[in-house]
Amino acid sequence: MKVEKIRELSPDELRGKERELQEQLFRLRFQKSIGQLDDAGKIRDTRRDIARVKTIIRQHRLRFQKSIGQLDDAGKIRDTRRDIARVKTIIRQHDIERARTQGAEAKR
Helix (H) / strand (E) element for 10: namely none
Both 14 and 39 in one domain: the answer is yes
Compute how many other C-beta atoms are within 10 angstroms of the C-beta atom of residue 54: 13
Q: How many domains does the chain have?
A: 2
The angle, 0 to 180 degrees and rounded to 10, between the axes of the packed helices 71-107 and 41-67 is 110
CB 53 within 8 A of CB 21: yes
Q: Which domain holds residue 96?
A: 72-108
Both 78 and 60 in one domain: the answer is no
CATH of the domain at 28: 1.10.287.310
Both 79 and 55 in one domain: the answer is no
Compute how many other C-beta atoms are within 10 angstroms of the C-beta atom of residue 45: 13
pLDDT-derived band at 45, boundaries 50, 70, 90? very high
pLDDT tens digits for range 53-70: 999 999 888 888 777 776
Both 38 and 63 in one domain: the answer is yes
Q: Give the pLDDT confidence score for residue 86 in this predicted structure.
A: 93
Instruction: Say if pTM beats, i.e. exceeds, 0.85.
Output: no
